[in-house]
Amino acid sequence: MAVGIRCHRTLITVVALAVLVALATPAGVQAAEAPRRGGTLLAVIGADPPSLDPHQESTFATLQLVAPLYSTLLQSDPYAYPKIIGDAASEWKISPDALTYTFKIRQGIKFHDGSALTATDVKATYDKLVFPPEGVRSVRQNAYSAVTSIEAPDPSTLVFKLKHASASLLDNLASPWNVIYPKKYLDKDPNYFKANVVGSGPFKFKSYTRGSTFEGERNPDYFVKDRPYLNGYKFFISTETSVRAAAIRSGRAYIEFRDLPNADVEAIKKQLGDKVTVQQTPMTGQFGIAFNNTVKPFTDVRVRKALTLGLDRYTAGKVLFPLAGLRDVGALMRPGTEWALPEAELQKLPGFGKDMEKNRAEARRLLAEAGYPNGFKVVLKNRNVKLPYQDFAVFAIQEWRRIGIEADHRPLETAAWFADGRDTGNFELIVLPTVEASDDPDLFLRRYTTGDTQNWGRFTDPGIDDLFSRQARALDTAERKKLIQQIQKSVLEKVYYMPGLWWSRNVVHWAKVKNYVAPPNHYANQKLQDVWLAED
Amino acid sequence: MSTYIAKRILLIVPTLLGAAALVFLIMRVIPGDVALLIFGGDAGGHIDPKQLAAMRQRLGLDQPLWVQFGTWLWGVLRFDFGTSLWTGRPVVEELLIRLPLSLELALAATTVSVIIAIPFGMLAAIRQDTWVDYLVRVVSIGGLAIPSFWVGILCILLLVIFFGWGPPLEFTPPWVNPWANFQMMIWPVLTVGYRYAAVTTRMTRSTVLEVLREDYIRTAWAKGLRERAVVIRHALKNAMLPVITLIGTEFAFLIGGLVVTETVFTLNGVGRFVVDAVAHRDYPVVQALIFLTAFSFVIVNLLVDLTYAWFDPRIRYR
């Protein structure tokens, strides 16, 4: 009898533990089900890529299509963003002075043309990224300004030498954009991969019809045993949001990796019920407004302060979230991350206090003090993209009217938004988002330093430059955090830039798509090596 | 007749040159260039002025305008429309991917519009001010008033909501899989066909009404001819000249003018290609496409003029 009771108790304990483990496991990993092999993942995407070379592009339209075809040196953990794990690198060592990073390159990785991937290929790839040859664009080159040389002493060893410590280096080496190319093609033509694909990823390139479809097929020689599960993947390109949503509803596509508006998501859920899954994640990006700090009246900090005080971000979050996914109020680093300003600190900054009547009164007082007691007229340039650019601008303009600012909304097509606005400085105010592939502070904060190519507000503040340079070298997280908070406070107290709201996204997919965990941006975790389909 | 055709063909040259020169100039006047777009990227890139200058040089944008235009024109004479500045691929290659779809859509939509418009336009005219006429007029005014892309979105939503089915997202040529092609093309063909049927129905009704009041029709009735003979043999043929012109112009427009409909039905057609090329300031593509559109308009108009002779034997071309 005693034995019976003991068995019973043991059974209860085992069951309870199993339930606890199941509850504690992230949704995507909840794969007690055995992965099924086969099938083609059908996806819809909202844009056609300008080229196929992620080193030279900054649009998801390039990355989502080709990421499954390539390996990277490191990567963010598909199940646990922002943890960094190896991909082509199996392990790495950092010297005590943090000036030398040594990576062990896995043996047995093959490119799709049959040749072996060695440290020489990784070196050639990073040489192209960090020291691009004449006529080759490398959009993320500034992220590696600490690197002085890259060496490959033997086929399985890669060494990065730095001129100073770089707290962000590992993050940047895990960038999904830095796909590894075979050296022999780069030697022939550094622009070869704009139109061609030779990778070593879980899938091989199959076909691409511009404006229509992009397909990859299973790589049987992939270095991770038994992966990928899928036979292939296929993207359908459609620029119309309602068409992409309808494609999911009709089952013509199983997933949209970027974002669908809440209204479409609700309609899909209503029709398909538990046949679909919606992963709502925050986004490593926010939409804000840049002042041209070199033109009047925005050379006057009182005017800039008045404009940020006049925007009710907390109401904006409620209004714009269902329309455009803009939701969270935050400073220059994403709310909820270790780098974010604490709520109490944030609310002390101009425009972030919750008493809007007080904010508006202060805005009017500042405008009067600056010589604009009746407000003024201004042009707000924008990109003619509805979600969320225009929705956000319309809200801001209505808000500013209440403090006497009449902003003329001028949406421009992308080419003009670059050439007649952002890139040439021909603007007073311009809607400018900051969206990155990770929460790395270097990526987000470099744009507030003097002369940075993304310092669209065109301001100079030696204090911020110094803080940035110190945080970039700070290996102690607590110290770095303090410096990062100081940068955010400096930018926001002097209102060089005006953050609006942080974005969120809805990744909608059929429930039969398994093992995909949406990270907080539409760039990471796109290799699809672990994704499988429960049915075709 | 042959002299007339030769003259018309010769006139094509200045027309096309004019269109090409105009588009060339307009594209250079609007702000933005492709080099900046290539470097700009989605979220802003690191633009080094030296790199930008090198890119402009590589794309030939540093040359004087007349040299750029001359080079392009010389290429056209050799049937070389150049290379896309945005994709780096030959323009003709890019065009050939899209042309079959656009031609099929234009042909099928024109056919649908003619099948609907001619009989119903005629019927409305001969039954003027009856319920038939009112019905045809209401339906055709509806077609004119409602944009076809909106009908398209509605059509997709209704299919998805009521049948859980949506049209395929990828074009399959009819010679590869006629059924898949039919499933995809039928919806845009019907929505666009309806829109153009509305225009043509109104035109057919008006012209038939006008002809029915002519003396020779009264004579035909007086002779005791049957209704069918009066309407088909005497009225319809004479009423067709303006309708044919309209159908011809519509057809030429449909080849490259269905941008929004193509977007709604994920059709990778010529219309979307032109708009994307304008957005990217992809000069060779825009120039080539406008040139080809102008060419198709000129040819279709020539064919329409030649068809006149068959409908009205009094017309003689010199």
Nearest CA in chain A to B46: A453
Q: Does B172 touch chain A (CB under 8 A)?
A: no
Tokens for B119, please give them. 């009989």
- State the pLDDT at residue B52: 76
Nearest CA in chain B to A191: B88
Collect all residues of chain A within an 8 Å Cβ-Cβ radius of residue B27: none
Q: Does B182 touch chain A (CB under 8 A)?
A: no
Angle between helices B65-77 and B283-311 in degrees, nearest 10? 50
- State the pLDDT at residue A13: 47
- State the pLDDT at residue B40: 58
> Cβ distance A471 to A488 under 8 Å?
no
**Cα–Cα distance, B290 to A441 (Å, whole number):** 47
**Cα–Cα distance, A444 to A132 (Å, whole number):** 22
Q: Which of B42, B84, B159, B161 to mutate to test the interface with A (most CBs of A within 10 A)?
A: B42
Collect all residues of chain A within an 8 Å Cβ-Cβ radius of residue B265: 243
Cα R_g (chain B), whole angstroms: 24
B162: Cα separation from own chain's centroid: 32
Buried b (16+ CB within 10 A) or exposed e, B120-138: bbbbbbbeeeeeebeebbe
At position B28, the amino acid (one-letter code) is R
**Cα–Cα distance, A499 to A343 (Å, whole number):** 15
**Cα–Cα distance, A484 to A476 (Å, whole number):** 12
Nearest CA in chain A to B31: A416
Tell if the CB–CB gap between B264 and A271 is shorter than 8 Å. no
The pTM of the whole model exceeds 0.80? yes
Q: Which of B30, B93, B160, B286 to mutate to test the interface with A (most CBs of A within 10 A)?
A: B160
For A195, the 3-state DSSP assignment is coil
Burial label for B149, CB within 10 Å (0-12, 13-18, 19+), is buried
- Interface list for B 73-112 with A (CB within 8 A): 86-89, 94, 97-98
- Interface list for B 12-31 with A (CB within 8 A): 30-31
Nearest CA in chain B to A433: B43
Residue by residue, DSSP assigns chain B as -HHHHHHHHHHHHHHHHHHHHHHHHHHHHSS--HHHHHHHTTT-----HHHHHHHHHHTTTTS-HHHHHHHHHHHHHTT---B-TTT-SBHHHHHHHHHHHHHHHHHHHHHHHHHHHHHHHHHHHHTTTSHHHHHHHHHHHHHHHS-HHHHHHHHHHHHHHHHS----SS---TTT-HHHHHHHHHHHHHHHHHHHHHHHHHHHHHHHHHHHTSHHHHHHHHTT--HHIIIIIIIIHHHHHHHHHHHHHHHHHHHH--HHHHHHTT---HHHHHHHHHHTT-HHHHHHHHHHHHHHHHHHHHHHHHHHHHH-TT----
- State the pLDDT at residue A11: 45
Tell if the CB–CB gap between A210 and B153 is shorter than 8 Å. no
> Cβ distance B241 to B311 under 8 Å?
yes
- Interface list for B 209-238 with A (CB within 8 A): none
Tokens for A239, please give them. 């620029």
Residue by residue, DSSP assigns A414-450 as HHHHIIIIITTT--SEEEEEEE-SS--HHHHHGGGST
Tell if the CB–CB gap between A456 and B159 is shorter than 8 Å. no
Residues in chain A: 536
Cis? peptide before A228, omega within 30° of 0: yes
Nearest CA in chain B to A143: B46
Q: How far is B287 from chain A (nearest CA, A)?
A: 18
Tokens for A433, please give them. 């988002």
Only one residue has tokens 């924008």, namely: A382
Which of B48, B54, B169 minimises the CB distance to A252? B169
**Cα–Cα distance, A446 to A442 (Å, whole number):** 6
Which of A57, A211, A419 minimises the CB distance to B41? A57
Task: Report in angstroms the alpha-carbon separations of A281 from A260, A328, A508, A520, B260.
Answer: 12, 12, 11, 5, 31
Which of B47, B159, B167 minimises the CB distance to A423? B47
Tell if the CB–CB gap between A139 and B89 is shorter than 8 Å. no
- State the pLDDT at residue B282: 85
CA atoms within 13 A on the CB side of A426: 11
Buried b (16+ CB within 10 A) or exposed e, B200-231: bbbbbbbbbbebbeeeebeebeeeeeeeeebb
- State the pLDDT at residue A288: 97
* C-alpha distance across the termini of chain B, in Å: 6
- State the pLDDT at residue B12: 84
Collect all residues of chain A within an 8 Å Cβ-Cβ radius of residue B279: 413-415
Collect all residues of chain A within an 8 Å Cβ-Cβ radius of residue B164: 249-251, 271
Collect all residues of chain A within an 8 Å Cβ-Cβ radius of residue B54: 134-135
Tokens for A38, please give them. 């086969």
> Cβ distance A424 to A292 under 8 Å?
no
Strands A100-105, A147-154: pairing is unpaired
Tell if the CB–CB gap between A195 and B157 is shorter than 8 Å. no
Tell if the CB–CB gap between A142 and B46 is shorter than 8 Å. yes
**Cα–Cα distance, A411 to A208 (Å, whole number):** 32
**Cα–Cα distance, B287 to B19 (Å, whole number):** 9
Closest CA relative to residue A409, chosen from A329, A309, A289, A527: A289
Strands A213-218, A497-510: pairing is unpaired
* Low-confidence spans in chain B with pLDDT less than 70: 38-48, 316-318
Q: How far is B47 from chain A (nearest CA, A)?
A: 6
Nearest CA in chain B to A431: B43
Q: Which of A44, A250, A427 to mutate to test the interface with B (most CBs of B within 10 A)?
A: A250
Tell if the CB–CB gap between B36 and A240 is shorter than 8 Å. no
**Torsion on CA atoms A397, A400, A404, A408, rounded to nearest 10:** -20
Q: How far is B19 from chain A (nearest CA, A)?
A: 23
* C-alpha distance across the termini of chain A, in Å: 51
Buried b (16+ CB within 10 A) or exposed e, B52-83: bebbbeebbbeeeeeebbeebeebbeeeebbb
At position A58, the amino acid (one-letter code) is S
> Cβ distance A496 to A448 under 8 Å?
yes
Q: What are phi and psi of A119, to 5 degrees?
A: -60, -30
**Torsion on CA atoms A419, A424, A428, A429, rounded to nearest 10:** 60
**Torsion on CA atoms A317, A322, A324, A329, rounded to nearest 10:** 20
Q: Which of A137, A244, A503 to mutate to test the interface with B (most CBs of B within 10 A)?
A: A137
Please, what is the Cα angle at A314 between A309 and A318, to 5 degrees? 140
Tell if the CB–CB gap between B281 and A415 is shorter than 8 Å. yes
**Cα–Cα distance, A151 to A161 (Å, whole number):** 8
Tell if the CB–CB gap between B88 and A51 is shorter than 8 Å. yes
For A321, the 3-state DSSP assignment is helix
CA atoms within 13 A on the CB side of A252: 27
Tell if the CB–CB gap between B88 and A238 is shorter than 8 Å. no
Nearest CA in chain A to B261: A240
Nearest CA in chain B to A141: B46
- State the pLDDT at residue B318: 60
**Cα–Cα distance, A300 to A371 (Å, whole number):** 10
Q: Which of B187, B263, B266, B275 to mutate to test the interface with A (most CBs of A within 10 A)?
A: B266
Tell if the CB–CB gap between A51 and B51 is shorter than 8 Å. no
Please report, in tens digits, the pLDDT of each residue of chain A (536 residues total). Answer: 344 444 444 444 444 444 444 444 444 444 468 999 999 999 999 888 878 999 988 889 999 999 999 999 999 999 999 999 999 999 999 999 999 999 999 999 999 999 999 999 999 999 999 998 877 778 788 899 999 999 999 999 999 999 999 999 999 999 999 999 999 999 999 989 988 999 999 999 999 988 899 999 999 999 999 999 999 999 999 988 889 999 999 999 999 999 998 989 999 999 999 999 999 999 999 999 999 999 999 999 999 999 999 999 999 999 999 888 999 999 999 999 999 999 999 999 999 999 999 999 999 999 999 999 999 999 999 998 878 899 999 999 999 999 999 999 999 877 778 778 887 889 999 999 999 999 999 999 999 999 887 899 999 999 999 999 999 999 999 999 999 999 999 999 999 999 999 999 999 999 999 999 999 999 999 999 999 999 98
Closest CA relative to residue A512, chosen from A134, A251, A150, A234: A251
Nearest CA in chain B to A422: B44
Closest CA relative to residue B290, chosen from B9, B6, B20, B3: B20
Q: What residues contact residue B124 under an 8 Å CB cut-off, 6+ apart?
A: B132, B133, B136, B137, B201, B205
**Cα–Cα distance, A390 to A164 (Å, whole number):** 42
Q: Does B67 touch chain A (CB under 8 A)?
A: no
Task: Report in angstroms the alpha-carbon separations of A488 from A133, A309, A466, A480, A496.
Answer: 35, 17, 13, 12, 10
> Cβ distance A222 to A209 under 8 Å?
no
> Cβ distance A444 to A435 under 8 Å?
no
Q: How far is A236 from chain B (nearest CA, A)?
A: 7
ipTM of this complex: 0.83
**Cα–Cα distance, B255 to B221 (Å, whole number):** 42
Strands A513-514, A497-510: pairing is unpaired
